[in-house]
Amino acid sequence: MTHSESTPPRWDGQRLIFDLNLEGGGSIRCAISRLALLDISGGGSFRTSDLLARFMRARPVIEAAARAKLRERNGPPLGILHIWEDDILEPPPASSPRAMRASSNRG
């Protein structure tokens, strides 16, 4: 399933909700708070259209953090998987989105 086939990201007034497509099929509902989204994307306005645009630009990093968080769990979340600023800015060393990019570039 591609991003265009999944439910589009939406703002609920407190957080941005999106579906994370899983490699084996299916998806998990995730959410990132407004402040976390603004912090990781360098700040900006609180307008819904701006928040959605910021999410789309940062989506690969946000999804990498969500996948890392899922790998640390014993099973899928009960309900929504919440992504916080620390999940992105201070991920576990072995699953860091930046570390994963660096190791994939090395072949």
Q: Quick check: is 32 in a domain?
A: yes
* Residue given tokens 């576990």 in the structure block: 92
Q: Quick check: is 107 in a domain?
A: no
For residue 76, the domain's CATH number is 3.30.160.140
Kindly report whether the global pTM for this prediction surpasses the value 0.85: no
Q: Quick check: is 1 in a domain?
A: no
Indicate the helix (H) or strand (E) that contains 43.
none
For 79, the domain range is: 10-95
User: In the predicted model, is pLDDT for residue 45 greater than 60?
Assistant: yes
Q: How far apart are CA 79 and CA 56, in angstroms?
A: 23
Model confidence pLDDT, tens digit, residues 88-101: 887 666 654 544 44
Q: How far apart are CA 41 and CA 2, in angstroms?
A: 23
Q: Quick check: is 43 in a domain?
A: yes
User: In the predicted model, is pLDDT for residue 106 greater than 50?
Assistant: no
Q: Quick check: is 4 in a domain?
A: no
Q: How many structural domains comprise the chain?
A: 1
